[in-house]
Amino acid sequence: MMDRDERNISGCGLTGMLNKKGLRINGQAITQSMSVLRERGNGLGAGFAVYGPYPDRKDKYALHLMYDNPVARRRTEEYLSAQFQFDSEEPIPTRNTPSIKDPPVFWRYFVLPNEDVRQAENLGEEDFVIKRVMHINKCIDGAFVVSSGKDMAVFKGIGYPEDISEFFMIEKYEAYTWIGHARFPTNTPGWWGGAHPFTILDWSVVHNGEISSYGINKRYLKMHGYECTMQTDSEVIAYLFDMLIRRHRIPLAHVPDILASDFWKNIDAMDDGQRRLKTALRMVYGSALVNGPFAVIVGHNNGMMGLSDRVKLRPMVAAEDADWLYISSEEAGIREISPDIPRVWHPEAGELVVGKLEVN
């Protein structure tokens, strides 16, 4: 296993592709795009988020788990059996890959909450699932929940993107949204659970940059029941999106006003209505402000988004071609899979790029 305290200087590459009509394609294109961004990583982490891979079980939560040892798996399955009703379970297929050394064991479970337990706790389905994910990650040594949404999955680990793609046989899955990441850790460790994407429910986040507000964000999220246990700053972004949009029902258009808020001097110069709104959001959600350089791609079952920090200290390019939306660290990552794409643009600092799935 990699040394979880290892540190390196930084890069990170990201690509996301969404078909707005729900057309499902295999993982060859995203792997091809990420191969162009290989030099933005250093082999200490890569991964893929996949939306639409389990159409025959899309009404079940697909829990992807990684286990460091057999005891962790036994303890986790005992816990899951008491909390969920199982539809099915199976090992996640992998392929022998020379560059992948000492991987954990990967397993997936298709489940629904145990209704007696859920009702006794008076929790909605999604909050019930989150509470169980947090318990496993925090309390069961050697077990980590990789993803926990419906009809979505995450495959990640130590290696370059092409290595992880080969290991998990990404080409055999089909999806309408693909998001990829090549990691170059800065001041957080490179280990299997710390690879991107980070997830909760159907939210997935890949990130290039460094979250200097991590300590504040982490303490704030803990007050709302989110435990940060993956030893990396990027984890907070997935939880913030879930909290703001699903729990607090903040309109999507105002999420950048919280996570990448304007500077106070710019807010003070706005007209009265805008100034009052943005001041209120900044004051109420001050601890959710994400400081530091970042570019993120966020996936969910209904689409994909891209957002950079309020100064745009990390690159992000967007493009559209018919029913496809692409977001990447570099234009080359997009043109590798769509050479003649008609519209390419560079989003402004703090500008949210949104692609919505147009089918149910």
Catalytic positions, written as ranges = 12
Q: What is the DSSP string of 307-349?
A: EE-TT--S--EEEEETTEEEEESSHHHHHTT-TT-SEEE-PPT
CA distance 185 to 293: 14
Among candidate residues 249, 226, 253, the one with its CA nearest the CA of residue 238: 226
Residue type, position 213, single letter: S
**Chain length of the chain:** 360
Using the 8-state DSSP alphabet, how is residue 60 labeled?
S
CA distance 235 to 107: 21
Longest CA pairwise span in the chain (Å) = 61
Lookup result for tokens 């991107």: 196
Lookup result for tokens 């200097």: 212
CA distance 337 to 341: 9
- Residue 31's SS3 state is helix
Q: CA distances (Å), 173 to each of 113, 256, 305, 327, 333, in order?
A: 26, 32, 22, 21, 21
CA distance 84 to 246: 22
Q: Two tokens at 326?
A: 């692409």
Q: Two tokens at 313?
A: 């200290």
